[in-house]
């Protein structure tokens, strides 16, 4: 038998890079959107090769559930018995055969060569046989063969045909029904899952006071539909644009811009000079809030428990120059206890929301002076600021990320319903801490990039029920021009309706 190798040096470079990303996603929980650009630079893949690799990676990750069912129908063993690297290569080959404009012979031969490079001759013959079976049908014919009957098992059919875990299909369907009614949910669920599988465009976000949308349209972008700070970039590298390089413009989903702008636009009686972004990493919402706060002479304290993410927040705010305090102040206690929630690492699992934390010096963290910005690394549950210190609080809570599956397709295969208990416990503690942080009459925006009802309405309902000092505010008027916002008072955005991530917003007012 031929000896096993681990090098892809003789394989097609674009496909070899795609295989490396899939392996990193599988073995190291890497995120493709972070790893792939770096790998493309290292391998000097540009132009058509870079575009091909990108489609191969993201398309395979989105279609993984469907492709595994197809491959399983072509092998005489469990997929668990297939070498993981070989299985990754088969997934890449299946995507080329069923969803890309690649000649079948090229899809098969290049994948076989890839398997030969990472395994052995026997594995390459195995891959050749499997891919030839895959290529005997198109995707629609495979769906007809492998998916459950849509009448008998609609969730199972959608799970296979739209490549989502069944529990996510059920959760999204439930949320659609809660926000839009049973009939609309039945009509919408397929479109929502398709939107999750569509490659999202690039949306730019101007930093208020530093850039205008007109500057971006002059560079070829198109003004966005809803956010007055947004523009759509048709193609190219946003990092090549001067306003982005200068920190005056960032890349941010329009839904994220809308929920941040809604908090800033909400009517507020009395003092309005102290703002808090409680879980600010990686900094997109903080940057928008910072500009809006400075325009009013207010301050923003941007907090993030993970120091490396706090540095990302500071980088997002760098365009505001001298108004941004130097460095990142570290005030979090029990820093080693922080747990990862969704793609955020910022909340200690055992944190007690009743605690009032102090900084390393033992003194409470004060809001920045009016007209200034500050970034700190602290635990939002064991908060280092005094209660009732702020006028507006943004809480973008750690979540499953089910609303951003079109951007992070691998997240659907990582999360499970068992994650919800821990996440919702953290979300409730953070929201209660956010209400503590705001003064009577002040506002809290509870935001998630998940539409799951347990992470959205259930969390808000439980916190409101547990306290006598908080009331709901209708958030819908704060998103002017945005259609299909439901019956309120909360707002749920949808990819298939609004072209945004599925952002959730509930607005709460602290009562006297």
H or E element at residue 375: strand 373-377
Beta strand 373-377 pairing with 329-330 = parallel
- 449 catalytically annotated: yes
Under DSSP, is residue 233 helix (H, G, I), strand (E, B) or coil? strand
Which of 74, 279, 399, 449 is catalytic? The answer is 449
User: Is-contact 443 508, C-beta < 8 A?
Assistant: yes
Tell me: cis bond preceding 242? Omega within 30 of 0 counts: no
Question: Among all chains, which residue has been given the structure tokens 């920045």?
Answer: 368
Which one-letter DSSP state was computed for residue 249?
E
**Burial class of residue 501 in the structure, from the number of CB atoms within 10 Å of its CB (0-12 exposed, 13-18 middle, 19+ buried):** buried
Using H for helix, E for strand and C for coil, what is the string for 158-216? Answer: HHHHCCCCHHHHHHHHHHHHHHHCHHHHHHHHHHHHHHHCCCCCEEEEECCCCCCHHHH
d(CA 26, CA 36): 14
From 467, 463, 469, select the one nearest 438 (Cα to Cα): 469
Q: How far apart are CA 350 and CA 338, in angstroms?
A: 9
- List Cβ neighbours of 270 (8 Å cut-off, separation of 6 or more): 391, 439, 441
**Tokens matching residue 486:** 């439901």
DSSP notation for 461-491: HHHHHH-SSEEEE--GGGSTT----TTSSSE
Distances (CA, A) of 5 to 91, 113, 201: 20, 12, 38
Question: What is d(CA 17, CA 36) in angstroms, rounded to the nearest whole number?
Answer: 8
- CB 199: neighbour CB atoms within 10 A? 12
* Residues marked as catalytic: 449
């Amino acid at each position: 038998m031929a000896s096993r190798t681990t090098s892809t040096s003789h394989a097609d470079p674009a496909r070899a890079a795609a295989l490396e990303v899939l392996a990193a996603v599988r073995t190291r929980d890497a995120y493709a959107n972070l790893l792939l650009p770096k790998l493309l630079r290292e391998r000097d893949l540009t132009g058509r090769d870079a575009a091909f690799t990108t489609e191969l990676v993201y398309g395979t990750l989105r279609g993984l559930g469907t492709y595994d069912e197809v491959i399983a129908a072509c092998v005489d063993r469990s997929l668990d018995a297939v070498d993981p690297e070989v299985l990754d290569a088969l997934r890449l080959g299946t995507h080329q055969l069923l969803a890309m404009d690649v000649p079948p012979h090229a899809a098969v031969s290049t994948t076989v060569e890839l398997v030969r490079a990472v395994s052995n001759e026997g594995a390459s013959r195995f891959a050749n046989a499997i891919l030839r079976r895959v290529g005997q049908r198109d995707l629609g014919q495979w769906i007809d063969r492998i998916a459950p009957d849509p009448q008998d098992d609609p969730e199972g059919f959608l799970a296979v045909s739209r490549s989502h875990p069944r529990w996510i299909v059920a959760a999204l369907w439930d949320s659609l029904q809660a926000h839009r009614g049973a009939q609309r949910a039945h009509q919408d669920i397929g479109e929502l899952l398709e939107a999750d599988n569509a490659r999202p465009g690039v949306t730019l976000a101007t930093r208020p006071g530093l850039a205008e949308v007109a500057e971006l349209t002059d560079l070829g972008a198109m003004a966005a539909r809803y956010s007055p700070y947004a523009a759509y970039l048709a193609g190219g590298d946003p990092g090549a644009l001067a306003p982005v390089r200068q920190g005056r413009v960032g890349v941010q989903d329009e839904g994220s811009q809308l929920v941040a702008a809604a908090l800033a636009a909400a009517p507020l009686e009395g003092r309005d000079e102290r703002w808090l972004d409680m879980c600010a990493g990686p900094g997109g919402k903080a940057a928008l809030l910072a500009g809006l706060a400075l325009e009013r002479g207010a301050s923003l304290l941007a907090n993030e428990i993970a120091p490396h993410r706090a540095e990302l927040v500071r980088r997002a705010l760098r365009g505001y120059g001298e108004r941004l305090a130097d460095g990142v102040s570290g005030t979090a206690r029990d820093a080693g206890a922080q747990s990862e929630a969704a793609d955020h690492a910022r909340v200690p699992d055992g944190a007690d929301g009743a605690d009032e934390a102090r900084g390393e010096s033992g003194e409470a963290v004060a809001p920045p002076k009016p007209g200034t910005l500050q970034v700190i690394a602290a635990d939002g549950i064991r908060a280092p600021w005094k209660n009732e210190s702020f006028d507006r609080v943004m809480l973008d809570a750690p979540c499953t990320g089910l609303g951003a599956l079109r951007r992070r397709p691998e997240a659907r295969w990582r999360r499970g319903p068992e994650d919800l208990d821990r996440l919702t416990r953290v979300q409730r503690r953070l929201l209660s801490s956010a209400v503590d942080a705001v003064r009577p009459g002040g506002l809290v925006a509870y935001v998630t990039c998940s539409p799951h009802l347990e992470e959205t309405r259930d969390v808000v309902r439980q916190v409101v029920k547990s306290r006598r000092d908080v009331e709901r505010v209708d958030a819908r008027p704060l998103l002017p021009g945005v259609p299909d916002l439901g019956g309120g008072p909360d707002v749920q955005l949808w990819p298939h309706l609004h072209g945004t991530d599925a952002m959730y917003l509930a607005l709460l007012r602290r009562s006297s």
